[in-house]
Structure 1
Amino acid sequence: MKKLLSIAIAAAVAAPMAVSADTTIYGRLNQNLVMTDNGTTDDWDIEQNASRFGVKGDEDLGNGLKAIFQYEWSVDSSDAGTLGGRLAYAGLSGGFGTVAIGRQWTPYYGSVDKTDINQVNGMNDTYIGSVRVGNALAYVSPNFNGFSAKLALVIDEGGAEDLNDDFNDWTNLSLDYANGPLSVGVSYLAANGSTAATDGSMWGIGAKYSFGNFALFGQYEDADFEIYNTLKTAAETADVDEFAIGAEAYFGNNTVRIKYGEVDKAADVEHWALGVQHNFSKRTMVFAEYENTDTQGAADVDRFGIGLRHDF
């Protein structure tokens, strides 16, 4: 109830600002009906995927300088509850680039995870990196003929990301290139932990190429530490490698997508997914997807889902 009240208050406060061109209220509702077959039971559930409510904007400070902000909540739209914060940052933007402080997208995610194309909840790709992180100081460079750089430092004494007594607990640097149909990103992330379980690094590369009514995606990752790796367990200490490829075809208002990926770890994972999507408009779509996940030493897991998504 308190979380719902906080969102209602935020909406009421932000509503008068919405008439200004520099402040935007936005959101997404993504409702799914999903069947999961784990080899033992078949379960049907109503779920949501990345539903959200947010406020973002900027203020012109003159001389080419702007103040920027964004506050975004994740919302459990399947039962009108909330899941918590997704983004919360403020910063300055100008000819020098952008500097922001708070909870943000990691540079690694934006540069590497090119196969994150599914709409149904739980139909994830084989990506093993971090997505968002709090207590971050980030810099995004200007674009130089298609090239740009992103740097993030996690500075957290005593929080969930606190790994040691140094100034920064981890460092993430990404380099990106985008020009016409091609986009490529490479990223390196290092955790400065005080123990073997919290110290290590990972790197990855991702690419997307569009041509005609088609697009191809690909990514590769190598990780050798525990704490920010969602597919590792405390018992695993060896490197984890991941690759994934995917494709989309566009026919009018319809999209067909397919992807395949593997994770090389103690219990190897093989994953593939197929989906179709129809866009009623730029903001409303329906979709159906199927995936199979084969984990070494365990039964296959099959998932099928249909859904409706509306953005505002």
Structure 2
Amino acid sequence: NEGNFAADVKYSAGGVEAFVAAYDDGDISDYTATKVGGQFKSGPHKISGQYEMIDTGTNEPTVLFLGYQMKMGKNTFALQYADADPDVNGVDNTTYVALGVIHKFSKMTRLFAGYRDTSDIESVVTVGLRKDFK
């Protein structure tokens, strides 16, 4: 063991969940990472968020994620936003926004569709069918 460790704590009560997780590479390298986040559910609504902080010994990138879901009948609508800051001179943040819907035909079959735009990098449309086998 080189002194590295990982730990996490999660709290859940009612419609609220919160967590924190940490990792330290110990004597192996200067790498450390911490993540905090949570979600809140109320009726058909769910709001979630997460923030990640990394220290590589050279730079300190961060990631922010926010999400919202709403259930309406057999459909779940989702909106997501993320911003990643690489903490490197001359490199811009990467942001993305995504919209999607999941339609539940049954407990085992779902249809999903979505659109994601990532900074000036790419835009993606996704359509699929998921079938679970038990």
User: TM-score category by the smaller chain?
Assistant: 0.7 to 0.9
Identity of aligned residues (%): 17
Is structure 2 residue 20 aligned with structure 1 residue 151? yes
User: Offset of 1:208 from its aligned partner?
Assistant: 1.5
| Residues in 2 aligned to 1:200 and 1:194: alpha-carbon distance in whole angstroms | 11
Aligned residue identity for 2:125: W
Please tell me whether the aligned partners of residues 137 and 155 of structure 1 are also in contact (alpha carbons under 8 angstroms). no
The runs of at least 4 consecutive aligned structure 1 residues that moved more than 4 Å come to: none
1:243 to 93, 97, 101: 97
| Residues in 2 aligned to 1:251 and 1:200: alpha-carbon distance in whole angstroms | 41
Aligned residue identity for 2:8: A
2:110 to 241, 255, 260: 255
Q: Report which of the two has the higher share of strand.
A: 2
User: Offset of 1:178 from its aligned partner?
Assistant: 1.9
Is structure 2 residue 4 aligned with structure 1 residue 137? no
| Residues in 2 aligned to 1:261 and 1:243: alpha-carbon distance in whole angstroms | 6
Q: Deviations over 1:205-237 (max 9, x none)?
A: 0121111111101210011127xxxxxxx9972
Equivalence for 2:126 = 273
Which has the greater radius of gyration?
Answer: 1
Aligned pair count?
130
- Residue aligned with 2:12, SS: coil
Query: Cα distance 1:163–1:244, how it changes in 2: closer, same or farther (>3 A)?
Result: farther
User: Offset of 1:158 from its aligned partner?
Assistant: 4.5
- Residue aligned with 2:26, SS: coil
Greater relative contact order structure (CA < 8 Å, 6+ sep) = 1
Equivalence for 1:181 = 44
Aligned pairs for 1:111-260 within 5 A: 135-143=5-13, 145-159=14-28, 162-164=29-31, 169-196=32-59, 199-225=60-86, 237-252=91-106, 254-260=109-115
Aligned residue identity for 2:36: L
User: Offset of 1:278 from its aligned partner?
Assistant: 4.1
Q: Deviations over 1:91-146 (max 9, x none)?
A: xxxxxxxxxxxxxxxxxxxxxxxxxxxxxxxxxxxxxxxxxxx9421000131x31
| Residues in 2 aligned to 1:219 and 1:238: alpha-carbon distance in whole angstroms | 20
> TM-score with structure 1 length normalisation?
0.38
Q: Deviations over 1:26-45 (max 9, x none)?
A: xxxxxxxxxxxxxxxxxxxx
Query: Cα distance 1:190–1:278, how it changes in 2: closer, same or farther (>3 A)?
Result: closer
Please tell me whether the aligned partners of residues 175 and 185 of structure 1 are also in contact (alpha carbons under 8 angstroms). yes
Query: Cα distance 1:254–1:172, how it changes in 2: closer, same or farther (>3 A)?
Result: closer
Return 5+ residue gaps in structure 1 as ranges: 1-133, 227-233, 285-309
Aligned residue identity for 2:22: L
Aligned residue identity for 1:273: T
Q: Report which of the two has the higher share of helix.
A: 1
| Residues in 2 aligned to 1:251 and 1:221: alpha-carbon distance in whole angstroms | 29
